[in-house]
Each structure stands twice: as C-alpha cells, then as structure tokens.
Chain A
Amino acid sequence: MVVPITHFNAQTRIRRKRTLPAEGQILVRRDQNVNAMDSVGTCYLPGRHEMVDLYQALGLSRKTPLDTITDRKAGETLQKGDVLAKTGKVFKRIVRAPGDCYIDSIEDGKALLEILDSPIELKAGIDGIIREVTPNWSVVIETFGCLIQGVWGNGKMASGLLYNTAKTETEEFTRSCVDVTMRGAVVAGGFCLHQDALEAAFDFSLRGLILSSISSHLIGYVQQLEIPVILLEGFGAIPFNPLAFQLFEKYDRNDASVNACEWDVYRGERPEVVIPLPGSGADPREGGHIRQGTRVRVMVPPYTGAVGIVVQIREGSTTIHSGLRGECADVKFDRIPTTSFPVSNLDILE
C-alpha cells in the first residue's frame, strides 16, 4: 500500500511555496535571503462595501449631469479624505472617500466603494533563499536542515531559539518545565494534560510550543493562544517518538521556525518545524510503500506513537483484536513486543 510519509529528517532539502490569497505584490527577489518572519508578499483581501449616493450627499437633483460633480471613474483607488464629488459653486459642498477605497462602480450617481482594509502580509515561514518568484502571486523558498512534521497546529507561525525541555521521551510537559530563561524561545516539551502548563507559555512569553500531544479538552484553549503550537503525535498522553526526541536533543539551542498551520491533506501543507543547518541534502520522499523493513509509526491505539520496523506483511486479510479484519503488518519495536497492526493504522517515518 502506498502511503504519505511523515518526516523527522535530520538533514534534507526543504522547499516551500508561499502563495498570496489574492493577487498582490511580491516583496522579494530571486536568490534573496529571508528570515522566517520576513514578509515576502502583500495583498488586499476583498473589503467591505459602501454605497455613497453622490446626489443625495450633495443635496442635488438627480437631473444634474454627473460629470459636473465628479470626474471619478470605476477602477480608481482613493485614499481616505480624497474628494469623491463636489459642487462647483461658491459655497462648495464636498463628498470625501470614507477610507482608503477602490471605486467598484458609479451608476445613477451612486458610487459603490470597496473599503480597503490593511493589507495582509505573507510570511516566509522558514529561513532560506528565494528560489522562484511568480510575480504578484507566490515565491518558493529553499533551505537545508532538519524537518520535523506534526499532525495538528493552531494556525500560528513564529521562529526563535529551540529550547528542549524534555529529558526523556515520556516526560509530561508541565508548568515547571518553563522558566524565565526561555523567554522568546520555541520550546519543545512532551505531552501536556493541564492548562496551567500552557498558561506558562504565555506568562513567560515563549515564541512557540512543540508538544508530542495534548489532552483533547485543551484544544479550545490552544486555538486561542497567540503563539504557534504544534502537536507531533496528536491527542492524549502520547510521548515523543524516539526520532523526534533525538532531533530535539541534538538541535537544542539552534534556531527553529514553527509553522503551526492546519494539516491540509489535499494540498500537503502540514504543521512543521524547520531547523536551518549548513550543508546540503536530498529532497525528502513524499510517498512510499509499507513493506518489510519500512520504519513506521502507529497512529491510533494500541501503542499510539510507537515507532518500529515492519518485519512482515501478512498474506491476505487478518482478524485483529477488535474482531475486524484487514491487511496487517507485524511491527518490531525496541521496548514492546512485536505486534500486528492494520496497515491503515501506520504511517511511514523518514
């Protein structure tokens, strides 16, 4: 069976495309170095609309020719306070733009204005070099380094010094794991079951949190946090997988960028941590077969998060403990006995 691969890769080439949600302006050029929090593009999203009746606002009859009160045309962009229309007599009356706006249309003396909100900024998300630019739309950023992919994120993005608080894979992330020396850092911890530990992230001004898992009752709180939170395993008391833990130990106090986007299985955007490193690396594989020798992770109980090696793909359909039947693989682990799992409960780790 071919399945997507989750990456816990110490050294690889990482290329990420960043695309504006609407046509706008790309602020960087090819081969330019960027930091994770740099803006690489900007655009306006469709704003709210306002209808201004020019005749009514000027107190004029609708028989007045429109070109005597305004020379504005559809398609023009105005700044707040710009004259939209005016009477030309001694006692002038003026209608001004209520905000920075775009004139959608002027018909029958009524101007339909689209009020332009603040432009949105497209962040680089990783430290790297701009490799491709599609004018007005997108860039491709490339870097080399460590790539750690998660399964859930709260939609935020940040970067900072990585600070690993977990001394073992199975350690719980509690309030006592965080202190003032971690201010401005991206903190990696184990599983989190209590809200006070997450409140500490706010109290000590952390830049981001990388956790193995959280209790599902904390989802609402995490979604409201201003800092990015990435879960590498999911929900419950699931320890770090050994690969992730080794990487956090190895790259403790390195710069890391955290993109805690929602996992979009269709577009392949995943929550991820990137630690830029000198050197080069090959492109990571995106999909692969589960077969003998493949390193896999168990995604649901029993043994959620355990990482092992497939020793055998069983012939045909096998009855599993729940009584259901399916294609199964026997997986060998370091610390638990070799166990058979439905292949659909495994993902490939590389």
Chain B
Amino acid sequence: MAKPTETEYVIRANGLRKTYGDFVAVEGINFEVKRGEAFGLLGPNGAGKSTTMRMITSTLQRSGGALEILGKDPDKYGPEIRSHIGVVPQQDNLDRQLSVWENIFVYGRYFGLSRKFLKTKIEELLAFAQLEEKRSVKSEELSGGMKRRLTIARGLVNEPEVLLLDEPTTGLDPQARHVLWDRLFRLKELGVTLVLTTHYMDEAEQLCDRLIVMDKGKIMAEGSPAELIKKYSSKEVLEVRFGSSGNAEAAKKLEKVGDRLEILPDRILVYTENGEKALEKVTKLGLNPITSLVRRSSLEDVFLRLTGRTLVD
C-alpha cells in the first residue's frame, strides 16, 4: 500500500489514443488520478469515456500513447493489474443461470480467493447491496436495479484498490442512487480510488474530487467541480421566460445584464455573479418575464457550455 504522505498516481495517461480503423475514439489525452481520489469522466455519448474506461480496465489495448495503472503497463501486466482493481461495466454481464450468491462466488474465484474467505465476504457484499433476501434467486429474475447493485457488489469482491464504475447509477431509482453515493463515499474514506463515468451532473458534483469533461475523444476541461464552475460558468444563473415569441426580442435588451447570455427556445439564461441583482436590472429595463428563477450555477451549465446542446446519438 502507498505511504499516505507522498502523492501516488494510480493512473497515468499520456497521449492515450484509441482508433478503430479511421475512426478516432480517443485522441491523445493526458490525465492522472491520485490514490484515494474520486475521479470523474464526463461527456456526451460517443465522447470516448467508455473506451477510455476499458483501456484503464486493461481489457482494451490502446492504439498509442502511454498508460500506467498501479505503476504497470496494462499491455504487459493486464491480469496482474486487474487482480487489484474492481470493474462495474456499463452493461451488466452477470451469469443469468447462477444465483445471486453464486454470481459473486464464481467471480471471487477468478481472483483465486478461497472458498472460506468468500463465504464471509459474500455475506458482507449481500448486506452492502441489500440483496440478502435474494441470495438464492437466479440473477435473470432480478429487477434492473437489483442487477446493478449485484454487479457493483461483485466488483468489490477482491477489495479493489481502484474501483472503475461505468455509469454506475443508470437504471437506479433516486433512493438507490443516494444509498450508492453514500457507500462509494465510505469506500473512498477507506482509501479506495474511484473512477467513474456518469451522465448525471449532480452525481459528479457529489462524488468527484476532480473530473475531466470529454468530447469527441478529447479533453475539453479538467478540474474540481467548483473550479470548473468558476472557470466556465458564473456563480449564479438567472432563468427568465418571455414566451417562445417574446424571447428573441427580450434577449436584445438583456445583453448588458449579466456576464453572458444563452438564448434557448423556451427561456433565456443570464449568467451572473448575483442573480437577484440581475433580476432587478431586468425589471428596471421594463421587461416583465412570465417566470423567473435564480439558481446557483451547476456542473450541468459547464457541461452544456463545453459540449453543446445538440443531441448526440
């Protein structure tokens, strides 16, 4: 284990590239993840997050650049690296024929863990995933959320130093998401490094110490959620609606209010340091919005600014 005083990087990527024929999925990205950190990979669909994730998992060979996981090159030491990491893939790949208990048992055996050790461990994991009652149920009979929880529990069977989670909470209800956040936070307290991709900006804000925003295979921004908000957004956002016909007209008058405007079909976003003051200015200009809302700037604002609002399939 690492000495806690010195900074130890568990992941280092330098010029990391992945191409499929002519298609460039990941275009020479650089990033580092410190031990014990919660690190997020954000980006729209097709940004290269999952590809990056699979390269970190040491199951997908890179096309170029350097990559080091736990101090080793995954191309050479894949199995060794994987024996110390935990993986929660985007798509559950449980064994449908086997029971909940057996799914964890078989997976634990792949790491060479003894039957005796696993018997105790599985009880802990079943409690962790709140699946004690379902231990004998075939995994194919579980609900989507239960399958997800089982996949996460299974990924912890070898007590990984680094836990890689590819969209861990997709398909979970809000209760289950919050429970999982709490559990992940406790794992982090134990010194487990978390690397996750997510579509939920609130999740990234809650969990990640640091994150990168990816788009089209490149890194668009890097930093802590607070830093990114500070750099790419304002402190507050004022949202005003003038009806779809009045928006464009009102926007012309709003140009001097706030640091930046974003005109959407249904509303106008005014990025500003003080939302209430901005709203006062709007009223003074003689504009009467149908509705108005002042809120704190969020990671979602940063994300949309960096990656655009166009839908990606």
Partners in one complex: no
